[in-house]
Structure 1
Amino acid sequence: MSASSFPPVALFDLDGTLLDTAPDFVVTANAMRQARGMEALTEERLRPVVSKGARAMLAATFPHMAESERHALVPEFLDVYQSLIGRHARLFDGVADMLQALERAGSRWGIVTNKPEYLARLILPQLGWEQRCAVLIGGDTLAERKPHPLPLQVAAQRIGAAAHRCVYVGDDERDIQAARAAAMPSIAALWGYRPESDDPVLWQADVMAATPAALLEPAAWPATAS
């Protein structure tokens, strides 16, 4: 790929990369806290760990509970979230323009997320993405999930491209680890969810992007092997 063209295929994480889902999860967490007579959490408490998944969000929601108690609450957490999914979520600024730029250039794009597939699929029609998203792999689609490379490898296969012809964009270290293990160039999405203790420089992504708008130019993307 030359610096004047986008990658043939762009694969994205969902929560914290394409979609700001933190507001939905804050409402979910606070519904569970309210049911137990607890005060509401602020978004600032939950936001940094959204990309870490349900267990990490439950740890922030119920820090006083034992890990085994919190693990037992995962089904309830997902049920509450499903009941309001997408109601408060929104695209990150610049994502719509970025996806349009890829499509105009003839590139295809898809989603590889650790969110359960059934929940991710509920979001697609809300955004008008059913036909636009070329592949969707969820955290329970396969036997492995990120940081294992299998989800990225299968996404590439399903879209009909070699892994090294794709670029993966994500806001968590697991995203970059999965891409590296799949021999897929990667972009660290610095606009996503990240605890202060996480240093994205240490992830060793091929590119770090401050905003989705930074990816409107083909030259901002890492080169893919021909």
Structure 2
Amino acid sequence: MVKHILFDFDGTLVDSRALLVKLYNEMAVQHHFRPIRQQDLAALRSLTISERVERLGVPVLQIPKLLIAGRQLYQDHIRALQLVPGMKEVVSRLSAQGVRSSILSSNTGTNIRLFLKNHKLDGAFKDVISAKPIFGKHHAIRKVMKEWGTAPSRMVYVGDELRDIEACKKLGVPIIAVTWGYDSPRLLLSGRPDYLVHSPQELQRTLMSMLSYK
């Protein structure tokens, strides 16, 4: 039976796509990258991160610096962000059941905690864990498993990107992929997640079945 739930943050819990596109475009003007237009979004959702970087002409060596700058800009706009509709009910149901839920994200702990405080969700999550490398989420998940002393089968990850699926597959951690985030359903399916859900209500049903499974 699953005992621990790890949630991704951006795209899974929080509807931050528009903000991240806005911040990227501000930096694109400054650094002379290709901007993201509204008509580009559908196509970009179907590409891997490496393919998106190539499509937009962003030099790989500049990505760490851009991520740091982007996270600082993100904090300035965090009060405008909202939870994905329906996700507060999912989180509240899990909290009422006494389930240990945590957040693991490549966003900063400062940004995440500020958002949770603004939305009065401070007590809904046990831990907030920042996975700093954009392609190193499996290292962070492995560290969490070690600290918690839990087996892969006793936890589940909820995320919206192919890289989340790939990280979990490396460790044998079950993953629920959600289709309302950054990556398209087709791209998510290419990673063969354990579950693919299309709404927070479907996510809640899936989680409840995993929590009650004997």
TM-score, scaled relative to structure 1: 0.73
Number of residues of Structure 1 aligned to a counterpart in Structure 2: 211
Answer 1 or 2: which has greater helix percent.
Answer: 2
In 2 relative to 1, CA 44–159 (structure 1 residues): closer, same or farther, beyond 3 Å? farther
1:120-131 pair list within 5 angstroms: 120-131=112-123
Aligned match for 2:191, one of 197, 200, 203: 203
> Structure 1 residues 68-77 or 115-124, which shifts more?
68-77
Q: How far apart are 1:134 and its partner, in Å?
A: 0.6
In 2 relative to 1, CA 106–68 (structure 1 residues): closer, same or farther, beyond 3 Å? closer
One-letter code aligned to 1:10 = I
> 1:17·1:169 contact (CA, 8 Å) conserved in 2?
yes
TM-score, scaled relative to structure 2: 0.76
In 2 relative to 1, CA 134–188 (structure 1 residues): closer, same or farther, beyond 3 Å? same
Superimposed CA distance per residue, residues 89-127 of structure 1 (whole angstroms, 9 cap, x where no aligned partner): 221121111112212222121111122333333322122
Aligned match for 1:81, one of 74, 81, 94: 74
Aligned match for 1:167, one of 141, 146, 156: 156
Unaligned stretches of 5+ residues in structure 2 = none
In 2 relative to 1, CA 16–102 (structure 1 residues): closer, same or farther, beyond 3 Å? same
Q: How far apart are 1:52 and its partner, in Å?
A: 7.3
Whether 1:9 aligns to 2:21 is no
> 1:124·1:130 contact (CA, 8 Å) conserved in 2?
yes
Whether 1:108 aligns to 2:100 is yes
In 2 relative to 1, CA 56–116 (structure 1 residues): closer, same or farther, beyond 3 Å? farther
Identical-pair percentage: 24
SS at match of 2:114: helix
SS at match of 1:101: helix
1:118 aligns with 110
Measured in 1, the distance between the counterparts of 2:131 and 2:73 equals 18
